[in-house]
Amino acid sequence: MDLNATSSAAATATSLSAGIDHALVEADGPTAHGDRMGTPAPDEKVLWKGRPALGLFARTAFHTRTLGFYFAALALIALVTGNTNAAIVSAVLGVALLAILYLLAWLSTRSTLYILTDTRLIMRIGMAIETRINLPLKQITAAHFRARGNDHGDIALELGGERMLGVVLLWPHMRPWHYNHPQPMLRAVPDAARLAQLIAEARAQYGAIDQNLIEIKDAAPASAQQGTHSAAQQGRKVPVLQPSAQGFEGAPA
């Protein structure tokens, strides 16, 4: 399978200074059927919309490449030691597992649509049960970016406010190892560096945010360093946001 070709075919993204027609948003990917949580309001300006690239999403969210190498190594070791039956079993199990993971990745990308407006970020996600997550821009305190090649990448968002989103609600659209305070993550999106900058520019109306446009570190953070730990390490200030009455919203459709 040509993962690059699959990625290009799976990814859809548009960024227009004049905004994107709302009808185009509803025609691309899962629809919100007019639900206010997942549908831009008539007075909202849609700045960007997109979805994960399938091949990259499978490799990074479902670790297909790592598992493929693992089972290939098992089969090779079995062949070298003369255990042909074990090699065949390892190869069959590996192919079956990768097929299942690619199916899950396909279902996930097919049911995902990220929408950035001038006031919030909307995540339409959910393989089995469609979920619409509404993230007001004023609640974003930091944006972290990791390049994944071919202009694709991941963008993780640190959130302020009192209400937190659940791991089960977000997975696999969340930053690894951040379970106490889950961080939503736009995975395998095209033109990711520009999108991270676009988020920062849209958020600027509520004040500047901390940006890390180098990488997303997957190491598990200490519990005391949750939230603004990355900003403290880099010596940059993050605005202290007052608790919002609206907070974050996320609920099954």
For 115-155, the DSSP string reads EEESSEEEEEE-SSS-EEEEEEGGGEEEEEEEEEETTEEEE
* CATH code of the domain covering residue 217: 2.30.29.30
* CB of 216 closer than 8 Å to CB of 197: no
Q: Looking at the structure, tell me whether residues 129 and 208 fall in a common domain.
A: yes
Same domain for 232 and 113 = yes
The boundaries of the domain holding residue 83 are: 58-108
Q: Tell me which residues of the chain have a pLDDT lower than 50.
A: 1-17, 219-249, 251-253
- Taking only the tens place, the pLDDT of each residue in 123-179 is 989 887 788 888 999 989 888 888 887 889 999 998 887 656 778 788 899 888 887
Residues 67 and 102 in one domain: yes
| CA distances from residue 170 to 23, 32, 73, 107, 251 in whole angstroms, order as listed | 26, 17, 33, 15, 11
Q: How many folded domains does the chain comprise?
A: 2
Residue 164 lies in a domain: yes
Q: Is 213 found in the same domain as 91?
A: no
Q: Residue 33: what pLDDT?
A: 64
Same domain flag for 104 and 114 = no
Could you tell me if 114 and 15 lie in one domain?
Answer: yes
Element (H, E) at 230: helix 229-234
Query: Is 93 found in the same domain as 28?
Result: no
pTM: 0.74
